Chains A and B, each alone.
Chain A
Amino acid sequence: MIKAEQKPIDEILKYLNPYNKILLSGCGACVTVCHAGGEKEVELLASGLRMARQKIGKKIEVLEVTPARQCEPEFALELSETIEKVEAVLSISCGVGVQTLVRHFPKIPIFPGVNTSFLGETITHGVWEERCQACGNCILEKTGGICPISRCAKQLLNGPCGGSSKGKCEIKKEADCAWQLIYDRLKTLNQLYKLEEIIPAKRWGVESRDSGLRRIVREDLKV
């Protein structure tokens, strides 16, 4: 799922400075799971914003809402009535949710309250780690289900670099070397022969972000 972290509150306060009544909108999906923008975080941030503004003698009214999935038009549109009552929106959903609101509510300023960080997995409660970079052409089948694009600092496709040492990465010493993990995994599966296949360079300019905005169209699903 998408992982995010709340922006520093002083940064948020700076861009909310001109406004006295805002809507703080969370999201009940990914950012709830990573505790960056769910109902609880909405309540916490709203309290912090009110106190910060009270302290400088410039009260702010904060309406709070957490739609089930802010990135889906059906849920985003539930905010229509509330948005009419405020001067600006602070969204603590991911960047997708922010832009869904922007698309549907073009006349009101909408600000992000979190930094959308990566697509990741929950390692343990309170710890998340990157697992996918949405490269557009998944090669997990060839690498024992471990992604060298997201987990190797150099995104190498055919074995480790010379900096792999005792199973750790030379760029981030605390991180496991992705290719060590791939080797160990394939060995466990008796599939080491898979390493003999050369994985061709990825077509970043065709399948990935380098070719510009990506879009998926399913004619069979259109209504």
Chain B
Amino acid sequence: MSSFDPKIIAFCCDQSGYPAADMAGTLKLKLPRNIEIVRVPCAGRIETIYLLKALEKGADGVLVFACYEENCQFLRGNLRAKARLAYAHRMLEGIGLEKERVEICHLATNSGVKFVETLRRKSEQLKKMGPNPAKES
């Protein structure tokens, strides 16, 4: 069994991802070990640079937990996040990194189970990919 524990930065929208993480805690669901949650007021607050810096500074993968489309309290924040992810994907392709390292997941306040399942799936996917070769050493 691999000893590699992928580090995942999970940006969580305050209206969906963060309450979902909270619910996962209430349900005592087990998260993969190496997760760092970053609470943001809206997924639209996440700039492209945050995604790249996370990878540069040591993450193996980045997940953005945002509200379902057409369900953003700030109307277009989740769509903005999605567009910024697409831009980051283009950059990652230019750099030669797998774009799958950065992903968006749409969920709702009560999606504690989905939150954990997504993180587990991501962690398994990153284990197969191996450590991020572009992180600072």
- Interface of A toward B, CB cutoff 8 Å: 8-10, 13, 40, 43-44, 47-48, 50-52, 54-56
Report whether A54 and B53 are in contact in the complex, using a CB–CB cutoff of 8 Å: no
Q: Which residues of the other chain, A, contact B52 by a CB distance below 8 angstroms?
A: 44, 47-48, 51
- Interface of B toward A, CB cutoff 8 Å: 47-49, 52-53, 55-56, 91, 94-97, 133-137
Report whether B95 and A52 are in contact in the complex, using a CB–CB cutoff of 8 Å: yes
Given contacts A44-B49, A47-B49, A52-B134, contact A10 B94 (CB under 8 A): yes
Q: Which residues of the other chain, A, contact B136 by a CB distance below 8 angstroms?
A: 50, 54
Given contacts A44-B52, A47-B49, contact A54 B96 (CB under 8 A): no
Given contacts A40-B47, A44-B91, contact A55 B97 (CB under 8 A): yes
Report whether B94 and A55 are in contact in the complex, using a CB–CB cutoff of 8 Å: no
**Closest CB-CB distance, B83 to chain A, in whole Å?**
9
Task: Determine the distance from Cα of A31 to Cα of B40 in the docked complex, in whole angstroms.
Answer: 28
Given contacts A51-B134, A54-B137, A55-B133, contact A8 B94 (CB under 8 A): yes
Closest to B91 in A: A48
Q: Which residues of the other chain, B, contact A8 by a CB distance below 8 angstroms?
A: 94
Task: Determine the distance from Cα of A52 to Cα of B133 in the docked complex, in whole angstroms.
Answer: 9
**Chain A interface helix/strand/loop/mixed:** helix
Task: Determine the distance from Cα of A10 to Cα of B96 in the docked complex, in whole angstroms.
Answer: 9
Task: Determine the distance from Cα of A40 to Cα of B136 in the docked complex, in whole angstroms.
Answer: 20
Write 14 A-B pairs (CB below 8 A) sorted by A numbering.
A8-B94, A9-B91, A9-B94, A44-B91, A47-B52, A50-B56, A51-B56, A51-B97, A52-B95, A54-B56, A54-B133, A55-B95, A55-B96, A55-B133
**Closest CB-CB distance, B70 to chain A, in whole Å?**
20
Given contacts A8-B94, A10-B94, contact A51 B49 (CB under 8 A): no
Closest to A7 in B: B94
Q: Which residues of the other chain, A, contact B94 by a CB distance below 8 angstroms?
A: 8-10, 13, 48, 52
Report whether A47 and B96 are in contact in the complex, using a CB–CB cutoff of 8 Å: no
Closest to A12 in B: B94
Q: Which residues of the other chain, A, contact B47 by a CB distance below 8 angstroms?
A: 40
Q: Which residues of the other chain, B, contact A9 by a CB distance below 8 angstroms?
A: 91, 94-95
Task: Determine the distance from Cα of A56 to Cα of B134 in the docked complex, in whole angstroms.
Answer: 8
Report whether A54 and B48 are in contact in the complex, using a CB–CB cutoff of 8 Å: no
Report whether B97 and A47 are in contact in the complex, using a CB–CB cutoff of 8 Å: no
Taking A10-B94, A43-B49 as known contacts, 12 extra A-B pairs with beta carbons closer than 8 A to each other, sorted by chain A number, are A10-B96, A40-B47, A44-B49, A44-B91, A48-B91, A48-B95, A50-B136, A51-B55, A51-B95, A51-B97, A52-B96, A56-B96
Most chain A beta-carbon neighbours within 10 Å: one of B52, B95, B97, B137: B95
Report whether B134 and A55 are in contact in the complex, using a CB–CB cutoff of 8 Å: yes
Report whether B49 and A40 are in contact in the complex, using a CB–CB cutoff of 8 Å: yes
> Which 8 A-B pairs have CB atoms at the shortest separation, nearest pair first?
A9-B94, A51-B134, A52-B95, A55-B134, A47-B52, A55-B133, A54-B134, A10-B94
Report whether A47 and B133 are in contact in the complex, using a CB–CB cutoff of 8 Å: no
Report whether A47 and B53 are in contact in the complex, using a CB–CB cutoff of 8 Å: yes
Closest to B55 in A: A51
